[in-house]
Structure 1
Amino acid sequence: MIHLFNDFEALSLSLPYLAEVELHQIGGAAPVEHGPKVVLGPGTGLGVAGLVWSPMGWVPVSSEGGHATLGAETEAELALVERLRKGRQRLSVERALSGPGLTELHQAIAASRGHAEEVLEPVEVERRALSGEDEIAEEALDIFTTWLGRFAGDVALVFGARGGVYLGGGIAPKLLRRLTQGDFREAFEHKGRMKEYVGPIPVYVILAEFPALKGAAVGLRAKLANA
């Protein structure tokens, strides 16, 4: 018998079983026990899934949240969004908040300054930004982390994620210092009259090596128990 799990569905199932050393907290307070949890993560795309408590235990909630529409809060952001949207009918969040999205952000910022649009691998944009050798890469990464914080806050509101917001995937752990020291948390909490609601919600970067495998094992055990 074969059981299939969406990657972020499996990742969500791992959340209650991750050790403290496998998580890095960015702001907020302690999670509400049995409160809804959400995990999101930029990688090749942008995955989003929730986890809610029921009398039968934890239940994963799959979603396609990465395909929500990307918006802007400032005129500068609006101009950047328009550049990213060029040639498309609409612009989804994962067009910016993903590995390929980081490449496109770098190109769009370069074009807005009249520079050549280098097509860099996401890892190269990260390297240049973190080394400080490329100010366009630095700006791209700053925008990336700000938008990620904003989107994480939006997702927290949608799921009522008082049990915590978790960042998974391959990109977030590499940006740990940037996420901790930059505008990520401020953007996460910048929700107007809902600021006091999201303020206590903790955000965790998942540091575990294979959390989705752990979650898949949890899910399989539950399915076999109910077979």
Structure 2
Amino acid sequence: MARILAGDVGGTKTVLAIYQTDGGQLQEIRKETFPSGQHSRFEDLLLEFLGGEDGLAAAVFGIAGPIKAQRCVTTNLPWIIDAAEISAELNIPKVHLLNDLESAAYGILRLDQFYELNPHADEKPGHIAVIAAGTGLGEAILFFDGREHHAMPTEGGHCEFAPQNAQEDQLLLFLRERFNGHVSMERILSGNGFGNLYDFLKSSGFAKETPELEAEMQQGDRNAVISIAALKQQDALCQEAMRLFCRIYGTEAGNLALKSLPLGGVYIAGGIAPKIRSALEAGEFMQGFLDKGRMKHAIEQIPVRIVDNPEAPLLGAAHFASKVIK
């Protein structure tokens, strides 16, 4: 038996947990959540959590930021996280950094409950694809070597948005002007995407705005206001923004499926999917997913599943840690 440290490191909060692992099985010993911005160094946060505890065999952290040579300059925090420095300061023999979506991908291997969107799903051993709309849009692939899966991070969320119909042609022109040229999928498939879609529909004259909702948007998170109003069917602009979001989300998930042929499934992670599950289940997502012309047959039986467990990145870090100590 060995004890390992796992972490899910985000711009707003950091979740740390100690697990006991035996033969790949994980048993949570203790867990704590910290506001990330209250510490000037990541190491200080770790020291506070550990409280002098030692004897850890490994530590793995999933981090919202780019990992280069096991070092991360965090995107939304004043931290430079270096695996070698953590290992030396905390006396942990093996320390490894993962991109947050790599960590979430590994976490899927530890989960067994999902919401299936494809009624024709036929799961088989093979690669797994992960797409996650949240603050941004993340994409990853779990490559299957015949025995186990290995996460492959990507920056696929920054690939170009490709319209599929006349309305989306106009959306591209609107966003191209707003963002001075390049329009990535992340401009639509993220929290801010709801606002971009709403603004496009409003400018195109799709429907008249609701003054009360417009006032509410000025007071709080306008993206949340739009999505909630859409789910409650309170406003035509918001409802159409949600429909477009789901359709384009499905289209991009289908693009990822064509590029990786994930017979093991496409998993929809990230913070947005569980909140709009009813909209994703309504049909637009799968219509977008399958709208691949003559290649529809290649992906029509791939499982398409919503991940609603927020601890997937933490479990993924623990899963990877259990592997590195073998």
TM-score, structure 1 length as denominator? 0.92
Q: What's the CA shift string for 1:73-123, capped at 9, x where partnerless?
A: 112210111111114221000001100111111111111118679565221
Between Structure 1 and Structure 2, which shows a larger proportion of strand residues? 2
How far apart in 2 are the matches of 1:121 and 1:182?
25
- Give the fraction of aligned pairs with identical amino acids, expressed as a percent: 32
Indicate the larger mover: 212-221 or 147-156: 212-221
Segments of 5+ residues of structure 2 without an aligned counterpart are 1-86, 88-94
How far apart in 2 are the matches of 1:17 and 1:134?
39
1:98 aligns with 2:153: no
Larger radius of gyration: 2
How far has the Cα of 1:184 moved from its partner?
A: 0.8
Confirm or deny: 8 A CA contact 1:142 1:182 kept in the other structure: no
How far apart in 2 are the matches of 1:166 and 1:217?
19
How far apart in 2 are the matches of 1:175 and 1:70?
21
Q: Could you tell me which residue of structure 1 aligns to residue 16 of structure 2?
A: none
How far has the Cα of 1:177 moved from its partner?
A: 1.4
Give, as a single letter, the amino acid of the residue that structure 2 aligns with 1:105.
Answer: L
Q: Could you tell me which residue of structure 1 aligns to residue 297 of structure 2?
A: 196
Give, as a single letter, the amino acid of the residue that structure 1 aligns with 2:180.
Answer: R
How far has the Cα of 1:190 moved from its partner?
A: 1.1
Give, as a single letter, the amino acid of the residue that structure 1 aligns with 2:182.
Answer: R
Mapping for residues 50-129 of structure 1, pairs under 5 Å:
50-54=141-145, 57-86=148-177, 87-113=179-205, 121-129=222-230
Indicate the larger mover: 215-224 or 146-155: 215-224
How far apart in 1 are the matches of 2:283 and 2:141?
26
SS in 2 for 1:4: strand
Give, as a single letter, the amino acid of the residue that structure 2 aligns with 1:158.
Answer: K
Aligned residue among 111, 114, 121 for 1:18: 111
Aligned residue among 123, 126, 129 for 1:38: 129
How many correspondences in the alignment?
Answer: 222
Indicate the larger mover: 205-214 or 111-120: 111-120
Q: What's the CA shift string for 1:3-33, capped at 9, x where partnerless?
A: 21101100111222211xx300011323112
Q: Could you tell me which residue of structure 1 aligns to residue 322 of structure 2?
A: 221
SS in 1 for 2:171: helix
> What is the root-mean-square deviation in Å for CA atoms of aligned residues?
1.7
How far has the Cα of 1:55 moved from its partner?
A: 5.6
How far has the Cα of 1:143 moved from its partner?
A: 0.2
1:7 aligns with 2:91: no
SS in 2 for 1:17: coil
Q: Could you tell me which residue of structure 2 aligns to residue 29 of structure 1?
A: 121
Higher relative contact order (CA 8 A, sep 6+): 1
Q: What's the CA shift string for 1:30-66, capped at 9, x where partnerless?
A: 3112x10011111110000010122662100100010
Confirm or deny: 8 A CA contact 1:106 1:137 kept in the other structure: yes
Between Structure 1 and Structure 2, which shows a larger proportion of helix residues? 1
Mapping for residues 128-139 of structure 1, pairs under 5 Å:
128-139=229-240
Indicate the larger mover: 108-117 or 199-208: 108-117
Q: Report the CA distance shift for 1:85/1:222 in structure 2 as closer, same or farther (over 3 A).
A: same
How far apart in 2 are the matches of 1:99 and 1:224?
37
